[in-house]
A and B are shown apart, each in its own frame.
Chain A
């Protein structure tokens, strides 16, 4: 194993990449919330079925996944060249490109751009990158109000809540809870509003209409940016994205550097993989694609902010870098037995679930046992379902094992190990040897028999038991990770 690459991680104290307590404690509380588990179980069940049907319609799905994986791997290998090309193309078509080393720098750039327009409010289309950097809070500090316009983001914003899913941030809320919230927080809402999703969506339409029509500035993220043409791509459903991208005079797009794809043709792969994997649709209702500024059509001023914020630290790890291939479809969350039970909030970061468990700790840096994100790579049963559904074939189980080792390496450097570091070191000692890992895994599979009644285990065999004694671990799968690995790869790791 190579030594951990010491890149520059995302700074602490800004944005939403860390929770205020470690996963095990947050997960314990979430498990006690039966309403939350019902809401999650229902919603993830619906979307799993839809995704399977949409994917099943294509007989070239595996070829698309292989192409998606290869494009992402090739892009990362020459990420610098592609970003420089993107910058040149966007600039040539009337856009302005900014670079941000971290969340603070990105927030300062966006705040400055908004202040230069004189606007004191703006409309926002759902974007993980701006959640990650805590942009709304930074804008509020400067006296600028950011109106979230995605229905789920609106639910979160009105409820002073935190997103719990990449695609459907309010997945933890059911219709009755949303009806109650709208009645309480939406000015002028019809008192006869029912909890029917259609009526709730109409209430949101009426509520946001005036805001859209008067907005002078918008902030968006981007799903893809095409280096060879400078095209930015935003994929959405409701039309709030189109409103933000089209009506205001000034558009500011904040994008992680890993979102670039080399060529226009690459979109033919991702525009098939993404909608079928995320909402389970053949195609999402609206996809907007634009380059720079078009006279007479849309914003007169376009700014693109390219964000690092720990991404280059992840890029420096030969294994962990694959987490940067993620296209944020959320399919891995929807199939994850851990996510389904604890929900997104337990992960602390706005990137929850399997991808969050490998992405968040790499963005924030992998520190010794006391870091809240350090326990995330352990928030998995390594069952492999996430890898099977991932449209770009990110081998999340392998990344989790790699990060556990990296974490223990960090913990080893401490003169007086904490109890958690010691138990994690023991876990890593087991996992660093193929024989020991196999033995412990078989033992934990035997534990499945004991866990059958509740679907969860209260302990794992020693030395892993020291860790599970404070965690309600999900029941291990029928097939262990290693068994799955050798079955699907035909060799031993």
Chain B
């Protein structure tokens, strides 16, 4: 829906701003077939993209997992390694390390419990409470959330969530104070171009690089402001085959 501003009769703000842009570009010698002092935005033709695009180490290769691990730790995330199938034990260990204990009987509407998105494999976190659209206040009662991810970028230590059923809506990974995120080796790519190429731009996406932080006081980085103060990544990879 496009809404013209009600105060203006005759020319809408939209038409006026667009007309101003055309006049400005004509005046500056661009557009309308005038002299062009730089590449036109005709697709990608004129953009020099000589920077590192995709490529680099193959997704999930050991050097890449190593880089991701170092970059995550550098920004104060914790990393737990696990073999495929060992997710439940690794998740239990990660929650215990973050002082989120199993709290039998409290598994309803918060109460320090662990929240999980509807599509998380049920065996991963049997005590988890499945998100059914809790309010913000109710979400605040959960101690931790466990999710999968859509992709991860080793070079920047970034994990990407896209709202798929095993990751859930955005609010559930934001309000609880501990986020445990399971990353499969084949989801790990090298750089930012590889990461964005894997994501569907029409989904709600959150890129997460370490726990929340601020540099607002004397430019000194402090971890843990409004988002989860603890971020633990469980890196699931087959152990290297014996030589």
Q: A43-B219, A46-B220 are in contact. Are A283 and B36 (CB under 8 A)?
A: no
Residues in A whose Cβ lies below 8 Å from that of B37? 318
**Stretch in contact with the other chain, from B81-89, B95-103, B104-112, B202-210:** B202-210
Residue with the highest number of chain A CB atoms closer than 10 Å, among B21, B140, B197:
B21
A74 and B205 contact, CB distance less than 8 A: no
B21 and A100 contact, CB distance less than 8 A: no
Count of chain A to chain B residue pairs whose CB atoms are closer than 8 Å in the complex: 305
Give Cα distance in the complex from A74 to B224, angstroms: 39
Q: A99-B12, A108-B7, A297-B169 are in contact. Are A257 and B217 (CB under 8 A)?
A: no
**Stretch in contact with the other chain, from A129-137, A183-191, A194-202, A348-356:** A194-202
Determine the interface band of chain A, counting residues with CB < 8 A from chain B. Answer: 35 or more
Residues in B whose Cβ lies below 8 Å from that of A171? 219
Considering the complex, give the chain A residue whose CB is closest to the CB of B15.
A99
Q: A83-B18, A96-B3, A240-B226 are in contact. Are A67 and B47 (CB under 8 A)?
A: yes
Q: A67-B51, A74-B40, A268-B196 are in contact. Are A285 and B212 (CB under 8 A)?
A: yes
Say how far B232's CB is from chain A's closest CB, in angstroms: 15
B5 and A109 contact, CB distance less than 8 A: yes
Say how far B192's CB is from chain A's closest CB, in angstroms: 5
Give Cα distance in the complex from A108 to B8, angstroms: 12
Residue B171 lies at the interface, judged by CB distance under 8 Å to chain A? yes
Chain A 205-240 interface residues, beta-carbon cutoff 8 Å to B: 205, 208-209, 212-214, 226, 229-231, 237-240
Residue B9 lies at the interface, judged by CB distance under 8 Å to chain A? no
Residues in B whose Cβ lies below 8 Å from that of A42? 218
Chain A 68-96 interface residues, beta-carbon cutoff 8 Å to B: 70-71, 73-84, 87, 91, 93, 96
Chain A 338-362 interface residues, beta-carbon cutoff 8 Å to B: none
A168 and B219 contact, CB distance less than 8 A: yes
B218 and A197 contact, CB distance less than 8 A: yes
Residues in A whose Cβ lies below 8 Å from that of B24? 5, 7, 312-313, 315-316, 321
Chain A 279-324 interface residues, beta-carbon cutoff 8 Å to B: 279, 281-291, 294, 296-298, 306, 308, 312-313, 315-318, 321
Give Cα distance in the complex from A200 to B136, angstroms: 24
Chain A 241-255 interface residues, beta-carbon cutoff 8 Å to B: 242-243, 245-247
Residues in B whose Cβ lies below 8 Å from that of A262? 41
B39 and A74 contact, CB distance less than 8 A: yes
Give Cα distance in the complex from A272 to B20, angstroms: 32
Chain A 41-61 interface residues, beta-carbon cutoff 8 Å to B: 42-44, 46-47, 50, 60
Residues in A whose Cβ lies below 8 Å from that of B123? none
Considering the complex, give the chain B residue whose CB is closest to the CB of A200.
B217
**Stretch in contact with the other chain, from B156-164, B180-188, B233-241:** B156-164
Give Cα distance in the complex from A229 to B24, angstroms: 26
Give Cα distance in the complex from A155 to B163, angstroms: 33
Residue B1 lies at the interface, judged by CB distance under 8 Å to chain A? yes
Q: A70-B38, A282-B209 are in contact. Are A296 and B222 (CB under 8 A)?
A: no
Residue A419 lies at the interface, judged by CB distance under 8 Å to chain B? no
Say how far B79's CB is from chain A's closest CB, in angstroms: 16
A282 and B156 contact, CB distance less than 8 A: yes
Q: A74-B39, A272-B192, A288-B205 are in contact. Are A237 and B47 (CB under 8 A)?
A: no
Residue A39 lies at the interface, judged by CB distance under 8 Å to chain B? yes
A229 and B47 contact, CB distance less than 8 A: no
Considering the complex, give the chain A residue whose CB is closest to the CB of B169.
A297
Considering the complex, give the chain B residue whose CB is closest to the CB of A204.
B225
Residues in A whose Cβ lies below 8 Å from that of B218? 39, 42-43, 46, 174-175, 197
Residue A491 lies at the interface, judged by CB distance under 8 Å to chain B? no
Give Cα distance in the complex from A267 to B49, angstroms: 12
Tell me which of B20, B23, B225 contacts A239 (CB under 8 A).
B225
B196 and A285 contact, CB distance less than 8 A: no
Say how far B147's CB is from chain A's closest CB, in angstroms: 13
Residues in B whose Cβ lies below 8 Å from that of A198? 222, 224
Considering the complex, give the chain B residue whose CB is closest to the CB of A73.
B38
Chain A 118-165 interface residues, beta-carbon cutoff 8 Å to B: 149-152, 155
Residue A98 lies at the interface, judged by CB distance under 8 Å to chain B? yes
Considering the complex, give the chain B residue whose CB is closest to the CB of A57.
B155
Considering the complex, give the chain A residue whose CB is closest to the CB of B171.
A246
Residues in A whose Cβ lies below 8 Å from that of B158? 283
Considering the complex, give the chain A residue whose CB is closest to the CB of B225.
A238
B222 and A298 contact, CB distance less than 8 A: no
A80 and B22 contact, CB distance less than 8 A: yes
Contact digits for B108-121, partner A, Cβ 8 Å, 1 yes 0 no: 00000000000000
Give Cα distance in the complex from A93 to B202, angstroms: 9
Give Cα distance in the complex from A97 to B42, angstroms: 25
Give Cα distance in the complex from A76 to B28, angstroms: 11
Residues in B whose Cβ lies below 8 Å from that of A109? 5
Residue numbers of B with Cβ under 8 A of A are 1-5, 7, 12-14, 16-18, 20-25, 27-31, 36-42, 44, 46-53, 71, 75, 133, 136-137, 140, 153, 155-158, 163, 169-171, 174-175, 192-193, 196-197, 201-222, 224-228
Q: List 25 A-B contacts (CB under 8 A).
A: A5-B27, A8-B20, A46-B219, A47-B219, A63-B48, A70-B39, A74-B41, A77-B31, A79-B25, A80-B25, A83-B21, A87-B14, A91-B1, A96-B2, A97-B2, A100-B5, A100-B13, A108-B7, A209-B140, A237-B212, A272-B51, A281-B75, A298-B204, A306-B17, A318-B37
Starting from the known contacts A5-B28, A70-B47, 9 additional A-B residue pairs (CB-CB under 8 Å) come to: A87-B14, A97-B2, A101-B16, A209-B226, A213-B137, A279-B215, A283-B192, A296-B133, A297-B163
The 3 nearest A-B residue pairs measured at CB: A239-B227, A74-B41, A239-B226
